[in-house]
Structure 1
Amino acid sequence: MNEQDQDFALQPVPQAHRRGFWKMLAVMMGLTFFSASMLSGGELGMGLTFTDFMLIVLIGNLILGAYTGLLAYMAAKTGLSTHLLARYAFGEKGSYISSFLLGATQVGWFGVGVAMFAVPVAQITGMHVYVLIAAIGVVMTVTAFFGMRALTVLSIIAVPSIAVLGSVSAARATETAGGLQALMEYQPAEAMGLAAALTVCIGSFVSAGTLTPDFARFSKTGKTAVSTTVIAFFIGNSLMFLFGAVGSFAFGLADISEVMVVQGLLIPAILVLGLNIWTTNDNALYASGLGFSNITKISKGKLVIFNGIIGTVLAMWLYTNFMGFLTVLGSTLPPIGAIVLADFFLVNKGKYQSYETMAFKKVNWIAVLAWAAGVLSATFIPGIPPINGILMAALFYVTGMALSSHFTEEQDKHLNGERKLINDY
């Protein structure tokens, strides 16, 4: 089997290719070491007391851990990616909607990530920014092409490096700000409300968390998938938030790499920034390849290369113009995960027919309408938008499927009754 087929884009991952706890933990930790989470942590750190900050992060990670942990369990049980799981709920053609949204968003974030690394490095070193963008884009695309093997190796290197260097920088920043006591006594100039804080905490990663099955499907068991996913969120996501909060408190900077530059740690700053974005970008490009492979049936490897080129060429434009749109687009993704979960756990009672023998609908319009209801709820109903979208999408889908099943049963009874009358006559 050639390299790009090792990622099983259009079939379940066989048990022979599954991985144990430690390798999966490295991959999932790499997924949660996400630069944008530091920016969110900085926003929370400036608007909350440190005690409230820790409480919000705990609650947010409990919600994210439950959401992604359930998706991980599904993936390990079936061996299927997010896109193939979506076929059960949305239908084969219907799943193209979710695959396009997920894939396009990840290509966008890849381009943003390339520029997020190239721009500050160009400012620090004096190198031409477009030369850096081209070089960084090529390197990240190449590693993403080699799939889970490369993601595992990269995560094993990146995760401890970021954790150690980031922790050292955060400890120094805490000392600069007056120590742990000053951190604990901090009072924000403008307090952030609970709903707003949870929206920032959950919203920073819930969209990427919807792609959890793309990686967790390689777990040997459901227990491995759930435990590594939940642990990764509580450690990785919490560290990113903490680094951002401490940096904001001490220097008014949420990005740990920027804090390191201020601290005179130039080389560690470049390393942390590069490794952090590299793991995020490879996960994004890998997931985008799976999504577009579901639509086009072209191999994941070829699509990774194509998507990497597109993301690299558009990197500066994406960086300067696309961030707001990507954030808005992100509100469309959590309802997809909610519908996939509702279909598996509630409608099908935790059991799916084998993917190889399943005859999928073309489009399940109940799922499409449930997704639209989830997006509208996240956009217009007051509260916590990601939670609103998830709950409404799941409720609409389960109700719609129940009514559809009841209507079908009544039709069958009516037809059977007519047949009986005809036969009796």
Structure 2
Amino acid sequence: MGKDYVDHDFALEAVTATHRRGFWKMAMLMVGFTFFSASMLAGGTLGQGLTFSQFIITILIGNLLLGAYTGTLSYIAAKTGLSTHLLTRYSFGHQGSYLPSFLLSITQIGWFGVGVMMFALPFQKVTGVNIWLVIIVAGILMTATAYLGIRALTVLSFVAVPAIAVLGTVSSTRAVSSMGGFEELMAYQPAGTLGIAAAISICLGSFISGGTLTPDFARFAQTKKIAVSTTLLAFFLGNSLMFLFGAIGAISTGQADISEVMFTQGLIIPALIILGLNIWTTNDNALYASGLGFSNITKLPKKMLVIFNGMLGTLLAMWLYNNFMSWLNFLNLTLPPIGAILIADYFIRSKGQYGKLAESSKTVRFQAIVAWLIGLLCALFIPGIPPLNSLLGAGVSYVVISKLTEKK
């Protein structure tokens, strides 16, 4: 089991050239990664607080920033072949990397449980099936693809991405028609107003925490060009599409989730299909990433940890959904500084050159931990766009602290 695990998941080593993937497999994998129900909810919030032209400008700016952040991480991952968790060993130190691995992994398990519940509730409402039966079956299926690894994630994406895109477009087209056409959509005036800074913050915040885990998937790309281009495609196409579905749904029906819009349109079966696939493509990626993170800490096989994490997220799904949402939103603020430190360490401190993983660095590099704390404080207390504040605060402070301490 250990040998098969190393061959296919590369949790504790770089992905070899023979296991790298071409453009289309990576494109489907990355777009499936960004097909996230929370992005639709964020799109609905933007749709109800902005005119449609303001909405378009906001998601273009927000996804440009997200694309720049995740695309840079993808470049590093493709060049090194390393996951997010292994990359943190260089900046945080071998044992210091346990902190970002724990934060990233526990957040993904939390979102996995919430995702299971987001599917179970409407499914139970429509079918009348016992809620716990739905939770357990959904949890097992989503855990299975994460257990099977990157191949299963890719196969699922090849099924889910076209289905979500087609069904979502059909539903959104119907919604626009019910409003009176595209001209009415462009003339829409929101009841409330949302500032541009707040709107961009919502756009960034919807996926910047998940985007920090981009290296876990981009490391499988055959070339740096494929890694970066498919990541940019995912955030400009996949994430923007989710925002668009959410905004149109909220404007036309008051519902941001496309599955809820489809329920109101009488498309019950397509709604359940799109809801299930949308959550599945995100949840299996979240569970896969959490397995990599805890493997970095425990050195146990990723597959074993995926099963444990999946069971934990499934059993706690109802509790997580009812009690953990605000805590998860706080945890989301703790993740972007990690990515900023990875970027600063690779391009500035190490000048794009990493040695062998076994020789990576000290046990703990306190420069990274202090910079991470500064990034978190910038997100919490500096006015403006919290995710952007955290990125800049962590990245700049890491470079300054590293130069001062290493020079000394």
Task: Give the alignment's TM-score, normalised by structure 1.
Answer: 0.95
Measure, in 1, the Cα distance between the counterparts of 2:124 and 2:269: 14
Matches within 5 A, 1:97-108: 97-108=99-110
Q: Residue 421 of structure 1 aligns with which residue?
A: none
Is 1:371 the counterpart of 2:372? The answer is: yes
> What is the letter of the counterpart of residue 122 of structure 1?
Q
8 Å Cα contact 1:75/1:216 also seen in 2: yes
Q: Residue 382 of structure 1 aligns with which residue?
A: 383
* C-alpha displacement of 1:406: 1.8
Is there any run of 5+ residues in structure 2 with no aligned partner, and where?
Answer: none
C-alpha distance after superposition, 1:186-209 (max 9, x if no partner): 111221001100110000000000
Measure, in 2, the Cα distance between the counterparts of 1:354 and 1:97: 21
Alignment RMSD: 0.8
* C-alpha displacement of 1:352: 1.0
Aligned-pair identity in percent equals: 62
Is there any run of 5+ residues in structure 1 with no aligned partner, and where?
Answer: 408-425
> What is the letter of the counterpart of residue 77 of structure 1?
K
Is 1:15 the counterpart of 2:17? The answer is: yes
Measure, in 1, the Cα distance between the counterparts of 2:223 and 2:253: 44
Q: Residue 239 of structure 2 aligns with which residue?
A: 237
Q: Residue 403 of structure 2 aligns with which residue?
A: 402
SS in 2 for 1:383: coil
Measure, in 1, the Cα distance between the counterparts of 2:58 and 2:351: 32
8 Å Cα contact 2:354/2:360 also seen in 1: no
Q: Residue 355 of structure 1 aligns with which residue?
A: 357
8 Å Cα contact 2:43/2:244 also seen in 1: yes
Q: Residue 122 of structure 1 aligns with which residue?
A: 124
8 Å Cα contact 1:4/1:145 also seen in 2: no
Match of 1:333 among 332, 335, 338: 335
Measure, in 1, the Cα distance between the counterparts of 2:375 and 2:180: 45
Measure, in 1, the Cα distance between the counterparts of 2:108 and 2:102: 10
Cα 1:248–1:334 change in 2 (3 A) is same
Q: Residue 37 of structure 1 aligns with which residue?
A: 39
Q: Residue 151 of structure 2 aligns with which residue?
A: 149
* C-alpha displacement of 1:4: 6.5
Task: Give the alignment's TM-score, normalised by structure 2.
Answer: 0.99
* C-alpha displacement of 1:360: 2.0
Match of 2:178 among 166, 176, 188: 176
* C-alpha displacement of 1:354: 2.5
* C-alpha displacement of 1:172: 0.2
Segment of structure 1 superposing worse, 2-11 or 104-113:
2-11
Measure, in 2, the Cα distance between the counterparts of 1:50 and 1:39: 16
**Structure number with larger C-alpha Rg:** 1
8 Å Cα contact 1:65/1:233 also seen in 2: yes
* C-alpha displacement of 1:346: 1.1
* C-alpha displacement of 1:33: 0.4
8 Å Cα contact 2:35/2:242 also seen in 1: yes
Q: Residue 81 of structure 1 aligns with which residue?
A: 83
* C-alpha displacement of 1:5: 4.5
8 Å Cα contact 2:93/2:360 also seen in 1: no
> What is the letter of the counterpart of residue 388 of structure 1?
N
Q: Residue 392 of structure 2 aligns with which residue?
A: 391
Q: Residue 415 of structure 1 aligns with which residue?
A: none
Measure, in 2, the Cα distance between the counterparts of 1:312 and 1:318: 10
Match of 1:294 among 296, 305, 313: 296
The size of the alignment, in residue pairs, is 406
8 Å Cα contact 2:89/2:360 also seen in 1: no
Cα 1:9–1:3 change in 2 (3 A) is closer
C-alpha distance after superposition, 1:289-335 (max 9, x if no partner): 00000000000000000000000000000111111110111000000
C-alpha distance after superposition, 1:17-65 (max 9, x if no partner): 0001100001000100000000000000000000000000000010000
Q: Residue 264 of structure 1 aligns with which residue?
A: 266
SS in 2 for 1:245: helix
Measure, in 1, the Cα distance between the counterparts of 2:284 and 2:89: 25
8 Å Cα contact 2:46/2:55 also seen in 1: yes
